Amino acid sequence: MAADAYAHCAVLSRDQWAWEFLRRNPDYQRDYQAFITIWRALEADYGAPPRRDFSKWKQDPRAYGPLPGDAELTAPASELCTVDDDRVLLECWMGAKWGFYKFPLDPGRTTPPNPDELSWRPPPPASRIDEAYRLEISFDLSLPLPPQLDAAKFRLIGRASELRRRGLAAPLTVANQRVRWTRMLQLLDGTASPDAENAGLLHEAQAMADHGYLDILRLAEGGAEAA
């Protein structure tokens, strides 16, 4: 894959970056192939819009998740597309499993999806915080809060400046992670060879494809850094 294949990375939005990592997830690729095979079989039997016979479609057990061999989801019912008997439509099951709304996208596509094609669900809370970015601040609720809040803000700004002096991006944004993420994609695609210098980056890239892409959705789009 030529370097030009990554030229589009210069203009990817936050949501599109998350997709670039998800589509490289081998488990998502397998799920999509299983899903689209079932979907096409259903369309062959019951038609595609606008001629789909949905009354027969929804009576077919293939139209509901989970995929064969997979497990039921634990997401709240309000986040799933259920029918009268609480079964989850297969396309919604896919979205709930992988964190998006809309119809599941083909991981083999090379053009970034637009907002009409991909909409992400709110990401779950972060499971951990990198210790380099952790700053614990305590408050004394027996004292007035405004001066304590001002002091906390001063500490936060100072810590962010300290991290930047150490060469760490603070805060992380799409703009200041773009080059790093592009390198990760190249490692995942095998167009860049892992060596002693970037072996750790390959591990990060694999973690990013394995649900770490949801962390991207917490970042700011722009490149402005805290003062």
DSSP string, 197-220: TTHHHHHHHHHIIIIIHHHHTTSB
Domain that holds residue 23: 3-120
222 in a domain, yes or no?
no
Peptide bond into 50 cis (omega under 30): yes
- Number of domains forming the structure of the chain: 2
**pLDDT at residue 226, rounded to an integer:** 38
pLDDT at 17: 98
Question: Would you say residue 115 lies in a domain?
Answer: yes
On whether residue 227 sits in a domain, the answer given is no
For residue 119 the two structure tokens come to 């909409």
Residues 20 and 107 in one domain: yes
Q: What is the mean pLDDT of each run of 10 residues along the chain (227 residues)?
A: 81 97 98 98 96 94 94 69 82 94 95 94 82 91 94 92 88 93 96 83 96 93 49
CA neighbor of 6 nearest in space, from 183, 172, 177: 183
Based on the fold, state whether residues 136 and 114 are members of the same structural domain. Answer: no
Last residue of a domain, one of 100, 120, 140: 120
Residue 2 confidence (pLDDT): 61
**What is the reported pLDDT for 94?**
95
Per the listing, tokens 């919604």 go with: 92
The per-residue pLDDT for 129 is 79
Pair of tokens at residue 134: 């952790």
Q: Identify whether 221 is part of a domain.
A: no
Per-residue exposure over 76-105, b if at least 16 CB sit within 10 Å of its own CB, e if not = eeeebbeeeeebbbbbbbbbbbbbbeeebb
Is the separation of the CB atoms in 171 and 226 below 8 Å?
Answer: yes
Together in a domain, 25 and 90: yes
Q: Do residues 153 and 227 lie in contact, with contact meaning Cβ atoms separated by under 8 Å?
A: no
Residue with tokens 């304590």: 148
Cα 12 to Cα 19: distance, rounded to the nearest angstrom: 10
If asked whether residues 50 and 91 sit together in one domain, one would say yes
Contact 59, 39 (CB under 8 A): no
